[in-house]
Amino acid sequence: MSQIARTDSPPPATNDYSEVWLWVVLDAHHRIADWHLLAQSHTPPSTPFAQGESYRLDLILGVLSGDPRWQENTGRAGPSESLHGWVWRARWIDSQHLAKLTTPPPMGADAAPARLLHISAYPGVSPDAMGWLDRLPDLVIGRDETQTIQFLNRAARELRDPEFITQLTQHIAPVDGAHSADEHAIVDSQGHARIFHRMLIQAPPASALHEFILAHEISHIKALEHALGDNEQLMRLLIDATPDFIAIKDGQGRWLLANQAALALFHLQTIPWWGKTDTQLAELTAPIFGAALSACTHSDDRAWAAKQRTRALETLPEQNGGHRVFDTLKLPSFTEQGERKLLIIIGRDVTERELAQERYEKLASQDELTGLLNRQFFQIEAQRWMDELEGEPLQKLALIEFDLDYFRSINDSYGHPRGDQLLKQIAQRLQNECAVERILIARLGGDEFALLLPTEGTQAALDALGARVKALVAKPFHMDHLTVLTTASTGMAIWPDHGS
């Protein structure tokens, strides 16, 4: 259905274009029983459908429903006083395929099915009918009684294709002397098929023209309808092509949809998985993947309980004994009664990212050569230990720093690789010696090392610590066929006795 109406009022100050889409319910007498706004274009304050101007929609709908046959064809013709200074047009939209994208709102138990109505408004620019027709973005073609073309609006003139215009005006005639409408396919000069919604509108008796053909291109809408017809297949191809795993479960946890990545992750490719829960699938797949499915059930429950999208890192095993880390989104959906409906699960493999993060954290805190703490992180951890013991007068910490005697001579005599081997062996000895104690060990730089550990704080305890370190360093170091001897020079301090 489509209709054009206009007024002879002065044109508005702007040339904005405005449009709305409405769900409309008709009663048994074809009158509007109810309507609901689905969407609208950008509507500046100057346009008819701006916020707070809904009464104008009521006026337009009132004009449309004044003709008993408006729901069947073009509705009422002629001017309307409902929109001063604006030209408006309304048409029914086929919602059969569009229903896959949007669902009509509930309009009452006894209401008839809702139909989709599109209303657009264009600013009038002249009291002269030719003036406002010339401003329409759709093609307008005026013919006389012999069906000779006498008028083209600007949109039609800009085509500069007489053959195209001729095709557009063929095979359309009034029905019972009234307006008519159809869909018409033509081929343009470049060989492209284009589809138009055409309306034949009888001109007023006093007009110099006999009729107008209003053509609105719907090629893109038809292409969309065709694409939506293959929606399921396209969606299947899309989700199978993504490397992320995607699964959808119903309110009872039964699998309804899974892409290839999800099936491969849990080794379900050869298992009849549809309609089964995680618990049922765990019994059908290998034990290692069954445990992973059970873990997924617990995280599903957390998403249902949260009643909103949740995000978490989940670790899932691999058959080779390794594991993969997934950044998992879970989006629960509920019925109007609040019951569980669907759970959408999307997981992205972030294993490499997590491994890189671990490597980065190690590099930030560890000495690259020895694997011990570096100076900066040792100072941060030492401060944290002191903060924890603040206010505990009986708790003390001992700081021992030492360097190697003759280390420069060893480097000069045997080369830097030998020196590096010596530092690594010292680090290993320190780690082995302190494995069962709470001790911070760090390489401060060069051949300097430091240890921080709880202590009684007595002189005897300090002497014992110093002797322990010197004995550790004094043992021979074996590197290939070379044996190296060295000693350590130590310095010690007690916290908080010797300051912070």
Look up the CATH number of domain 243-353. 3.30.450.20
Across 335-426, the runs of DSSP E, i.e. the strands, are 340-349, 396-404
Segment 314-320 long-range contacts (CB within 8 Å, at least 24 positions apart): 314/347, 316/265, 316/292, 317/288, 317/289, 317/291, 317/292, 319/267, 319/286, 319/288
Measuring CA to CA, how many Å separate 359 from each of 327, 355, 364? Answer: 19, 6, 9
The domain ranges of the chain are: 1-136, 138-229, 243-353, 366-495
Class of the CATH-defined domain 138-229: alpha beta
Query: Which two three-digit tokens encode residue 416?
Result: 């830097």
Q: What is the pLDDT of residue 126?
A: 46
Q: What is the pLDDT of residue 229?
A: 61
Q: DSSP strand E in 164-297: where?
A: 180-187, 193-202, 211-217, 245-250, 255-258
Query: What does the pLDDT average to over 424-440?
Result: 86
Token couple for 43: 């509507």
* Phi, psi dihedral angles at 172 (to 5 degrees): -135, 130
Q: pLDDT (tens digit, 9 = 90+) per residue, 16-53?
A: 567 788 888 887 777 788 888 888 776 666 666 766 56
Per DSSP, 178 falls in state B
Cβ distance 372 to 365 under 8 Å?
no
Q: Model confidence at 473, in pLDDT bands (50, 70, 90)?
A: very high
Q: Do domains 138-229 and 243-353 have the same CATH topology?
A: yes
Res. 212: pLDDT tops 50: yes
Question: CA-CA distance, 431 to 429, in Å (whole number)?
Answer: 5
- What pLDDT, in 10s, does the model give residues 113-153? 778 887 777 554 444 556 677 778 889 888 877 788 878 88
Structure tokens, 11: 């044109």
pTM: 0.36
The packing angle between helices 416-433 and 407-414, to 10°, is: 130
Across 365-383, average pLDDT: 87
| Lowest model confidence (mean pLDDT) among 41-50, 248-257, 445-454 | 41-50
The residue-averaged pLDDT of 327-338 equals: 91
366-495 — its CATH code?
3.30.70.270
